[in-house]
């Protein structure tokens, strides 16, 4: 996704910045850092952050054990060994859709798009009426920004299982990214109706409200998210951005400080606090935070924005 340029405006679309810095949480976001966006190795539980990757077909105990071993290897980062196990299962049972799905996930981690897609397609061919497989392939497409294909899979998954909350959330994420906010809200609301208080739905719906400029509603959702996930710094980060947009800078500062307490070495969080300090006309504090951004950031774009803010604040003392 594009990242905005805050350049020389004192206060420029702070909420859009934090959306671009973090993005929407997938329905389930406990994927490891080695896994590309939108892919998970774990079986889906609606309460988890990513959709299921385990098919509903019953497999033999031996094959099921092998598949679980392969999934554990993916979790530990031993991707080649995991693929070897899935190869063995498929060689013995070429109709095992679950093994194709898991091998597809492993191949996607290796950024082997064509091989991963071939395995996802084979799994769908074997079990075309399996909503879980379609949902998982949809997330794979979404990770490569193939939104039309992703939407088609999510919509088919919902047709097959109208109670499948994960598919509604994943479709909503794509719709929100495409700017179809009202449709996205309808899907988030449906997912909440189906699953109740699932933290990530509040997070994503709050982000969507923010992008629509409805910051009061965004605050309500982020507060609910924090209630359900009090140790996640990004909930406080988003809440701080929403309060800043409402002009409640003291509450914004309180929440961004909470985010820094939990995650003290993240450049994006310091950048947002720097913006809040700048708006409060606490110039030395803002400059210190932008210098911290430069120290911590691995993003040339974020470094450049921090440098521009420092130059602007030094040239325009409050």
**Backbone angles phi and psi of 273, in degrees to 5:** -65, -35
Q: Are 36 and 45 in contact (CB under 8 A)?
A: no
Q: Quick one: pLDDT at residue 259?
A: 98
Token pair listed for 131: 């909503």
Q: Quick one: pLDDT at residue 27?
A: 56
- pLDDT category of residue 318 using cuts at 50, 70 and 90: low
Domains and CATH numbers, the chain: 1-30+228-318 (1.25.40.10)
Instruction: Render pLDDT for 20-79 as a digit per residue (tens, 0 to 9).
Output: 444 565 554 333 222 333 333 333 333 333 333 444 444 467 888 999 999 999 999 999
User: Is the pTM above the cut of 0.95?
Assistant: no
CA–CA separation, 26 and 56 (whole Å): 21
Q: Quick one: pLDDT at residue 225?
A: 97
Mean pLDDT, the chain, whole residue set: 85
- pLDDT category of residue 201 using cuts at 50, 70 and 90: very high
Q: Residue 237 pLDDT more than 80?
A: yes
DSSP state, 297? -
CA 5 vs. chain centroid, Å, equals 22
């Amino acid at each position: 996704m594009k990242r905005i340029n805050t350049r020389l405006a004192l206060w420029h679309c702070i909420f859009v910045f934090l959306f671009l810095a973090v993005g929407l949480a997938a329905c389930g976001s406990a994927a490891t850092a080695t896994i590309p966006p939108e892919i998970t190795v774990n079986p889906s539980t609606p309460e988890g952050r990513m959709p299921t990757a385990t098919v509903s077909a019953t497999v033999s105990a031996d094959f099921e054990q092998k598949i679980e071993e392969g999934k554990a290897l993916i979790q530990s980062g031993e991707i080649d060994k995991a693929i070897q196990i899935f190869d063995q299962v498929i060689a013995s049972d070429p109709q095992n859709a679950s093994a194709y799905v898991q091998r597809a996930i492993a191949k996607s981690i290796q950024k082997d798009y064509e091989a991963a897609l071939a395995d996802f397609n084979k799994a769908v061919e074997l079990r075309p009426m399996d909503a879980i497989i379609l949902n998982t392939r949809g997330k794979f497409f979404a990770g490569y920004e193939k939104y039309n294909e992703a939407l088609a899979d999510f919509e088919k998954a919902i047709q097959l299982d109208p109670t499948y909350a994960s598919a509604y959330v994943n479709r909503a994420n794509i719709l929100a990214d495409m700017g179809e906010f009202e449709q996205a809200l309808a899907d988030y609301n449906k997912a909440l109706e189906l699953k109740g208080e699932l933290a990530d739905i509040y997070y994503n719906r709050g982000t969507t409200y923010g992008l629509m400029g409805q910051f009061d509603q965004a605050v309500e959702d982020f507060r609910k998210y924090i209630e359900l996930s009090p140790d996640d710094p990004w909930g406080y980060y988003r809440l701080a951005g929403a309060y800043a947009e409402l002009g409640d800078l003291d509450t914004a500062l309180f929440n961004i400080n909470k985010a820094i307490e939990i995650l003290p070495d993240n450049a994006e969080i310091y950048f947002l606090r720097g913006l809040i300090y700048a708006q409060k006309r606490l110039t030395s504090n803002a400059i210190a935070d932008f210098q911290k951004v430069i120290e911590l950031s691995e993003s040339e774009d974020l470094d450049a924005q921090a440098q521009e803010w420092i130059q602007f604040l030094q040239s325009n003392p409050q």
